Structure 1
Amino acid sequence: MMGLLSGCRGILAPAIGAFSVMVGPRVCTITGSILTATGLLLAVPGVSALYLAFTIGALVGIGVCMCETPGCIIISEYFLEKRSTANGLRTSGNAFGGVVMPFLAVYLLQHQPYQGYYIIFAGIMLQMCILGMLYRSFETHQMITTLGFQRGLRTQMNQHKKDSPLLNTAISMTAPPKREEKKKNKLLNMSLLRNPAYIMYIIMILLCNIAIPNVLMYLPLFGRYKNLTEFENSIILSVLSILDFFCRMFLGWLSDKKLYSKHHAFVFGLTMAGTSLMMLPLAYNMWTVLAILWMRSFGIAMFWALIHGLLADQFGSENMATSWGFVRMTQGITNFFYAPLLGAVADSTGSMSAPYLLMGAMQVLGAMTFALQPLVIRVTGAEVCMT
């Protein structure tokens, strides 16, 4: 069911990105919030595993994707100089949810039947409607800013001279200083799939995604394999979520200081995350597991802080619905079969170390593959800027 939820959350990302561009981020987010809450409410009867796969897996997965995708697009529209900082702050919300929601879920399950748990969480998900109403497209924001600037200018000038047709004409032609004209968002730009530089992103995420969603999913089983208690496992998960929260914000802010190449930092982060996973079998207690996985949290925080900015910088913010959509779709597709593959590896070897060795090796391979992107750009002559 978790695989179906993760898969639906990603596999429809290009279509949902196009839908967000077509109807606007506000409508898309509100629709996603209602769909997520509906999936949770429909899950209350819980008549079968297949029924729960459809409600919690498919409906909630699609709804969450509809809430998540507009945020990726709108951040790339609003921010240029501070884009990585903005994305770091946005993605840190996922990590913060990892700190709060597990404790809330455990508390609710202890004091409510699972039906009440679903109903309460449906109410929480409906709060995204309120947040969605606060979204404003960049074009609308520009228009409101211009009108406000002109109104303020009119007020100041009227303090010195009376209204006149010449004054009205001057004010109507005046606009606040603004950045370079933004291109109109595209629903889908399929030409990206013919761009070798973009294909490197697809190959990278195809390799790395074996680890990105599954490291924490298999961590409780790994903890038992290493004779850790349930309490120690919960401490590890909570501390890692807190570290991830702060790392995403800090690394996004640091990247905007332009002290290093974003491409190099991205490759370094993925390599660091993969190497730490290959070191994890050497851990022998809670503190060594926590120390090694902190390296992974730092590296994967670099991934989330930079991925959206890199896509927007290289392929344009107007193509964000497509560039992020197909990366997310690749994640969704791989979520269907990577989790069972790791389970099969653990069962066949009788060891929980083997899945982490495989995850680490493939993540390092993905990082090394993406490190070749500048060479691919030079060889193929792809028109992509390096950051």
Structure 2
Amino acid sequence: MSFREDYLFWRLAHYFVSVGEYRIVQLSKDQKELWLEKIENKKYQVIRLLRYDIDWSNWMQRDIELTAANGEQIRRQLAKRNMNVLNLYVSTYLPVDDYEYRISKPFVNPNNSKTNVTTVIFDRNGYNDALGRLTELLQTDVSFTLKNEYEEQEIEAVKQATLAQIVIKAKSEQELFKYGKPFFTYIFIAIQVVMFLLLELNGGSVNISTLIHFGAKSNPLIIEGEWWRFFTPIVLHIGLLHLLMNTLALYYLGIAVEQIFGNFRFLFIYLFAGFAGSLASFVFSPSISAGASGAIFGCFGALLYFGVIYPRLFFRTMGMNILIIIGINLVFGFTVPGIDNAGHIGGLLGGFLATGIVHFPKKRKLLSQLFFLITAAIVTFVFLQIGYKS
């Protein structure tokens, strides 16, 4: 046996993983079907690679339809408006009957036009033509030479090299979520619980005079020089329900953000977001306010920044849930009276800007970080001028 087609299957897989930087979605138990994705690719977000000796074109047609159905499921999971799937067959021979009309154009499900499947067949006699077609579709040179015969050891070598690349990519992605151990999240939770008890022991957490005494945001007092009231509201809460909701949110979001960005980056993000929320409330709301909501929305902003830098990982893991929760909270804030939505939006933007300033651990984007720093400084200055003058 020549094993030429088996080698070609894994050689293509290795190219897409190492050069194309596609990520594995699924590998079948017999290791003859491989699904890959790269949602930021403008041409083909998903590649399906199948090692199978095709006999009749009607089997291929049914398989293309199933491929389109699977591609549609991936499209929905990744929240993509449209999905282009590149379907590659590695077969010893071409179908024995007429097949060209089945793959001359991308297949589109008549019941759903959002997922398209473009098919290319690699066969023993037309492998160079197939590579040329692949180069044309991807608009990048895809070329390598094949021998007439291969040993099993050669196939195993390229397979292991491909799987090793997949493992390395998976580990690097996992490391993004495990850089730091939560510390300041627990500190802030403890502080806001202690401050709540102090409020309750000194007149009650819903008592306006008590809240002002302990540092709630009060526009007149800030104008008189009590600038610390941009920060002290972060650890004060109005009522037990307010405390419980924000503590629960901080527990889940704070841990996630602190694990991704590390302790001191999280500390900066959280405090700056809390300040930004208080500043926005200072400008747009005359009411007394307190709570960690602005800082917590800053954690959402940090995760949105993560999504900007790592979009496919973001949407594959938490993206849609984060966007939905943000949307629900903002709609809730606009429709329910008594909620300081200016503080929420200010915290969200502040958290995004703060994360852009510190970026990721052990990674630098100096020009981008400088841009975020200048933007944050300008926005802060303008809002302070507006707030104090009004």
Fold similarity call, TM over 0.5: no
More helix by share: 1
Provide TM-score, normalisation by structure 2. Answer: 0.23
Provide TM-score, normalisation by structure 1. Answer: 0.23
Q: Kindly indicate whether structure 1 or structure 2 has the higher relative contact order, using CA contacts under 8 Å at least 6 residues apart.
A: 1
Larger Rg computed on CA atoms: 2
